[in-house]
Structure 1
């Protein structure tokens, strides 16, 4: 059953009906008392208590006594009879705190039992009932729409500027707590152990070979060599000598680099591996390197542009999600619907999953009840203590008052019968 705008009206109607029934019951009990009093007076003043009038008088007088006694007892539960502070009256208001504590402890001890709750959950079989409920297309659509509405509510909350700033500050704080040196060293160590760093070496060497084997590289190196051998200019051999030596140097260098690519144990490759290990060691243990990295990290996170970018990234994400929800072909709504359908099918077809889900619900409910049962009892007691005395009395009378008025009626009739029996026995005994 879902709460709607008409729910408060429904409660008000039920309460009004209870009050009307209570008034009728109270009027009936009081009317019966007045009737007995009238009969007693009639028997005494008209029949003078003789003959059959004596029996009527005995019945009516005893009925009046019984009715008044029960009226006093019932009234004393809730208030001082006729406003007179007679001792041991107004029992409920006077003992509200003790009653509240006792009721809270009673409910905690006798009702909030994990084993009882577990049995009720087993009998209820919530997973199977949910499967039956989801099998109805209208219910699945309703759950999908409610899930979408919940997601929209969350987005509205997350789109608040205070929330975006809070998340930005949280992200910056968490990023600032990351030890980049240790994390970077650990990551590079994994790369080194897997041999992936050698691919970096191969890429650099291949790029160097490709760069060397170009006309520009030859011309540049030839020019450098020619400028260093000025003496050859007098015999016009500077440019030719430079090109010759450049070709030889580039060729030798290329051959050496190619050998490093082909030989796993080449000295150049080994030197790169040692240098890579030194970098890892410096990141993990060298104080100067770690402090320099930490300074870079702080400087980067303090940058206003980065913080603004993080905040804008969050707003863009929320905006995209909200825009998607407004579309007829919303991807989010489709995914929520698919998830609901898949979950319903799983509940319908997978008995093991149903048993597992019921077991988890039972365990969670029992553990939660065992953990919070004391707090629930205290909460109930505190709620009752917080009620105004008039409100407490009104609530109790409204819910049990009708039965109490029937007690008045029974007391009137039973009292009258007892009085009649006593009078009859006296007549038979001649007293």
Structure 2
């Protein structure tokens, strides 16, 4: 029993049915030839031409996909035999007409990615989904830190990297950057302002003086063979004078940008930077300090405990219905979307960066896309290729057979009429 379970099978049945009808009309015409020769002539001309058209178009459509009747007729099974060339031509066609630099950039520019991103982020549902995804990804990564193998890898990698760092030189370079362009004096000004303000307080001065006086009382001075203590009134008076002088000196330095001690501070700082960067003794000491730090068990214990605490806090937070991290991420995504939605200059900058990136990417990957298409078609099994193409376009191709049957029959009638006119 014929199974017409697909549109292609049904259209094939229609086209084949018309061919059988043409054949039946031809037989009928032969039967009527003696009794109704005129009508039989027209019917015979129509049916003959219809059968020729139907068979010719069946042959043409079939020859695209396979050999008609399995016969090795030249220039048949065109698609399977030329799939390599078809794949290469298809890849070139797509790359030339769909992936040219100008076409892609025009489409990217028309797309207005920055505006779409801003609108997408401004939607609370999207912001919530994005923050949820970020938290889940982070949770997976942080949770992996509980595995001892991951911990060991992180520790060994971190310590191996730390052993390669020249701490002295790096410290010198960092200090040089922090102090360049008189930034050291700016920092010093800030410190002096605060210290000067604090030292102007009588309560602070008295507290410092009492501490100094107490220390002098516990540290007697040997004078002419006798130990003399500064405890009592003399010690207190000396300490107060000392604190007062220190306060005055700090005020002087703070108010005088050209103070001698400021210059000495700069000189000492520059000398320290030079030693940190180039002095072998400093480098050796820094390396020893680094080695002691790496080998110290307290550091390992501290880092392990710190990681555990971070992981515990993170997991407790993300599993909570009122997750602080998720709320911050959600609010941040919404604010970013709202800010970007209102900032046309930033949108223009983002679109410009995307366009600048899209151009080289098109040039780089266009040829690879064409090669991929060609290779994919080449790798297809011939039966699979024919099946896929016939399933998509075969239904429409059956109309060629139908049209060929009907048009062929009409042309046959026209030829018959013309012949009768010319001969008769």
Sort the TM-score into its range (normalised by shorter chain).
0.7 to 0.9
Q: Aligned partners of 2:259 and 2:18: how far apart in 1? A: 117
C-alpha spacing 1:404/1:165, structure 2 compared with 1 (3 Å)? farther
Q: Deviations over 1:408-429 (max 9, x none)?
A: 1111122222222222222223
Q: Aligned partners of 1:98 and 1:308: how far apart in 2? A: 66
C-alpha spacing 1:304/1:402, structure 2 compared with 1 (3 Å)? farther
Report the alpha carbon displacement of residue 99 of structure 1 after superposing the two structures with TM: 1.1
Q: Aligned partners of 1:174 and 1:88: how far apart in 2? A: 68
Contact 2:61–2:397 (CA<8 Å) still a contact in 1?
A: yes
Q: Aligned partners of 2:246 and 2:126: how far apart in 1? A: 68
Q: Corresponding residue for 1:232?
A: none
C-alpha spacing 1:153/1:399, structure 2 compared with 1 (3 Å)? same
Q: Aligned partners of 1:59 and 1:52: how far apart in 2? A: 11
1:423 aligns to 2:423 (yes or no): no
Q: Aligned partners of 2:259 and 2:104: how far apart in 1? A: 73
Q: Corresponding residue for 2:137?
A: 153
Aligned match of 1:77 in 64, 89, 114?
64
Contact 1:25–1:405 (CA<8 Å) still a contact in 2?
A: yes
Contact 1:104–1:380 (CA<8 Å) still a contact in 2?
A: yes
Q: Deviations over 1:357-402 (max 9, x none)?
A: 4444444444432332222222222222232222221111111111
C-alpha spacing 1:254/1:197, structure 2 compared with 1 (3 Å)? farther
Q: What secondary structure is seen at the aligned counterpart in 1 of 2:124?
A: helix
Q: Aligned partners of 2:270 and 2:240: how far apart in 1? A: 26
Q: Aligned partners of 2:65 and 2:230: how far apart in 1? A: 117
Q: Aligned partners of 2:119 and 2:244: how far apart in 1? A: 71
Report the alpha carbon displacement of residue 104 of structure 1 after superposing the two structures with TM: 0.9
Q: Corresponding residue for 1:283?
A: 276
Q: Corresponding residue for 1:243?
A: 228
Q: Aligned partners of 1:187 and 1:360: how far apart in 2? A: 32
Q: Give the TM-score taking structure 1 as reference length.
A: 0.74
C-alpha spacing 1:275/1:339, structure 2 compared with 1 (3 Å)? closer
Q: Corresponding residue for 2:220?
A: 221
Gaps spanning 5+ residues in structure 2: where? 197-204
C-alpha spacing 1:333/1:403, structure 2 compared with 1 (3 Å)? same
Q: Corresponding residue for 1:313?
A: 306
Q: What secondary structure is seen at the aligned counterpart in 2 of 1:86?
A: coil
Gaps spanning 5+ residues in structure 1: where? 1-17, 230-240
Q: Give the TM-score taking structure 2 as reference length.
A: 0.75
Q: Aligned partners of 1:180 and 1:326: how far apart in 2? A: 40
Q: Aligned partners of 2:120 and 2:218: how far apart in 1? A: 82
Q: What secondary structure is seen at the aligned counterpart in 2 of 1:327?
A: coil
C-alpha spacing 1:57/1:324, structure 2 compared with 1 (3 Å)? same
Report the alpha carbon displacement of residue 46 of structure 1 after superposing the two structures with TM: 4.6
